[in-house]
């Protein structure tokens, strides 16, 4: 779930009296007042459960990586339990809020690399330990940020349980930020979440219940229903096993894109499997509040949401463009062009990153497409899907509002004194929200440009750098050039470049602002103290 939409709903749902009572109750338990460490402890405990459940799967199947998963699980749970027990929520200052979010994601990424390191997942025979550690951190960051880029080359070596843990990291990442922003942070009495409401500037469509904890539970329940639904649908069609259905259900609902197979969805070479995955990805790219209401028999959210209409129209138009380009300019038969085009448009338009290429020369390998078709995919990698979804990108709503702002600027050159509001659907967007969204986009562009400069300076090609930076910030997965859907990032980028990309994945998943403010607010406090 997108952190902004959740945060916006949280600010409108939770009453000040409830915040004070919850905070007072939590302060009675003792411990050192430290909000970031307390939140971190809760998150680590949840991650440890995933490691231990994956160990059970490993023990009942290949049983190669059971030990590393068990050791990692107990170490992670012990650390999380200690942090939770030794601390309690502290102040509600903005810098503590953003530190809690930012540092929790960084620590989870580092701790999440433990199973790979202990199992020697990236040891290809004589591989230096530094290389193994970098690849493990990269894989962990890609998983928890729901990016889907991989440094893995040998998919036969890891056990089935370890590969399931890899899938579970994306499931945690897809809805994990909701736990932090909707359930945990408001419970701590946080009042600085309005800085993240720029991600949800529309009407309050995410208000599912007056109680914030109940809202989080309902979103998680909807998320689980989608996961199970995709898993059962995949198991029902010829090809995938129950294990495969569960594995791909986890990464489809989270729009993450990991697969336990090196060829991703191309492993099955099945139109039916691809059709199920396409439907799952489209649903995962929608606002989950609409899904919850639909489960209650209320479908008006789908009908009345201008962002959803634009999102579906964008996918349809881009599919038509790509299919036409592959058919006319690419020399593919219409059926082959349609199959390759619709799957990859939806995969990147929802920031999932699955691939349907059966080999490097396959029609689904979009790095072989005509340049115009690749540019359409690059546009989708920038935009992403809807707010309130598990998808990355700048979001369709931001694109709509920023386009409205641009059109207004042109109109004001002709009518300087005219009062022209920016609208999203039938609702006027406040100037404060428009300003913050414009600021977000400027930050996004600066990060993209600086990332490209850094990667090219570290030896990566220009095309690969552009695709990788845009893909990492948008949590898309595959990039362009030598980092396409059939390639491994460990072969396309150097060790320092992979660490840079891992950082960009986390920044992109947290929607830029939390990571920026996590460092900016303490720096400002230091300047004020010593000035």
**Amino acid 30: pLDDT:** 64
Could you tell me which residues come within 8 angstroms of residue 169 by beta carbon, excluding any fewer than 6 positions away? 50, 112, 140, 143, 144, 258
208: helix, coil or strand?
A: coil
User: Distance between CA 23 and CA 186 in Å, rounded?
Assistant: 9
**Amino acid 21: pLDDT:** 44
Which residues does residue 193 pair with via DSSP β-bridges, in sequence order?
A: none
Which residues does residue 422 pair with via DSSP β-bridges, in sequence order?
A: 429
CA distances from 45 to 50, 84, 140, 231 (A): 9, 9, 16, 26
Q: Hey, where are the domains in the chain?
A: 3-397+432-530
Beta strands in 190-295 (DSSP E): none
**Amino acid 195: pLDDT:** 29
Q: Can you give the C-alpha Rg of the chain in angstroms?
A: 22
- What's 29's DSSP letter? T
For the segment 302-353, what is each residue's pLDDT rounded down to a tens digit?
A: 998 999 999 999 999 999 999 999 999 989 999 999 999 999 999 999 999 9
Q: Cβ(95)–Cβ(193) under 8 Å?
A: no
**Amino acid 4: pLDDT:** 43
**Amino acid 9: pLDDT:** 39
**Amino acid 184: pLDDT:** 47
User: Distance between CA 55 and CA 164 in Å, rounded?
Assistant: 9
User: Distance between CA 16 and CA 14 in Å, rounded?
Assistant: 7
Tell whether the torsion through CA atoms of 84, 44, 520 and 177 is positive or negative. Answer: negative
Residues with pLDDT less than 70, the chain: 1-30, 90-96, 176-216, 520-531
Neighbour count for residue 118 (Cβ, 10 Å) = 18
Closest CA to 260 of 280, 279, 290, 240: 240
Q: Cβ(50)–Cβ(172) under 8 Å?
A: yes
**Amino acid 8: pLDDT:** 43
CA distances from 267 to 131, 220, 280 (A): 28, 30, 18
**Amino acid 232: pLDDT:** 97
**Amino acid 2: pLDDT:** 52
**Amino acid 88: pLDDT:** 80
Q: At what angle do helices 462-473 and 495-509 cross, to 10 degrees?
A: 30
Closest CA to 97 of 7, 12, 172: 7
**Amino acid 22: pLDDT:** 44
Residues 453, 2, 395, 205, Cα dihedral to 10°: -160
For the segment 52-106, what is each residue's pLDDT rounded down to a tens digit?
A: 999 999 999 999 999 999 999 999 999 999 998 998 876 656 666 777 778 888 9
Q: Considering the entire predicted model, what is its pTM?
A: 0.88
């Amino acid at each position: 779930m997108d952190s902004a939409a959740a945060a916006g709903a949280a600010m409108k749902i939770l009453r000040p009296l409830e915040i004070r009572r919850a905070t007072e109750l939590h302060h009675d338990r003792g411990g050192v007042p430290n909000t970031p460490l307390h939140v971190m402890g809760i998150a680590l405990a949840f991650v440890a459960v995933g490691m231990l459940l994956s160990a059970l799967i490993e023990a009942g199947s290949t049983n190669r990586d059971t030990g590393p998963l068990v050791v990692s699980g107990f170490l992670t749970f012990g650390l999380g339990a200690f942090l939770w027990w030794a601390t309690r929520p502290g102040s509600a200052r903005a810098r503590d809020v953003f530190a809690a979010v930012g540092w929790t994601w960084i620590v989870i990424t580092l701790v999440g690399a433990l199973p790979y390191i202990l199992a020697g997942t990236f040891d290809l025979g004589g591989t230096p330990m530094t290389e193994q550690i970098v690849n493990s951190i990269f894989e962990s960051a890609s998983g928890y940020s729901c990016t889907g880029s991989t440094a893995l080359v040998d998919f036969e070596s890891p056990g089935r349980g370890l590969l399931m843990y890899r899938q579970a990291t994306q499931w945690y990442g897809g809805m994990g930020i909701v736990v932090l922003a909707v359930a945990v942070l408001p419970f701590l009495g946080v009042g600085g979440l309005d800085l993240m409401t720029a991600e949800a500037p529309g009407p309050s469509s995410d208000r599912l219940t007056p109680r914030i904890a109940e809202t989080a539970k309902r979103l998680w329940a909807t998320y689980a229903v989608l996961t199970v639904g995709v898993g059962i649908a995949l198991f029902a069609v010829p090809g995938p096993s129950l294990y495969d259905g569960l594995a791909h259900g986890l990464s489809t609902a989270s729009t993450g894109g990991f697969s336990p197979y090196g060829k991703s969805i191309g492993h099955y070479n099945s139109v039916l499997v691809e059709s199920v995955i396409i439907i799952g990805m489209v649903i995962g790219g929608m606002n989950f509040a609409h899904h919850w209401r639909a489960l209650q028999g209320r479908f008006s959210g789908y009908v009345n949401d201008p962002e959803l209409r634009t999102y579906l129209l964008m996918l349809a138009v881009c599919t038509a463009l790509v299919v036409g380009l592959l058919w006319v300019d690419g020399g593919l038969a219409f059926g082959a062009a349609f199959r390759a085009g619709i799957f990859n448009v939806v995969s990147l338009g929802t920031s999932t990153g699955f691939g349907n290429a059966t080999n490097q020369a396959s029609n689904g390998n979009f790095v072989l497409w005509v340049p115009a078709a690749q540019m359409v995919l690059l546009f989708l990698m920038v935009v992403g899907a809807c707010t309130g979804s598990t998808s990355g990108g700048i979001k369709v709503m931001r694109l709509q509002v920023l386009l409205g702002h641009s059109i207004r600027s042109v109109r004001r050159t002709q009518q300087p004194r005219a009062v022209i509001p920016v609208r999203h659907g039938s609702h006027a967007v406040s100037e404060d929200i428009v300003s913050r969204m414009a600021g977000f986009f400027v930050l996004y562009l600066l990060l993209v440009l600086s990332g490209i400069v850094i990667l090219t300076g570290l030896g990566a090609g220009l095309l690969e750098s552009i695709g990788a930076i845009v893909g990492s910030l948008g949590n898309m997965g595959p990039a362009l050039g030598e980092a396409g859907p059939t390639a491994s990032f460990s072969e396309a980028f150097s060790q320092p470049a992979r660490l840079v990309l891992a950082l960009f994945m986390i920044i992109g998943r947290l929607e830029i602002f939390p990571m920026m403010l996590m460092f900016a607010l303490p720096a400002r406090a230091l300047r004020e103290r010593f000035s």
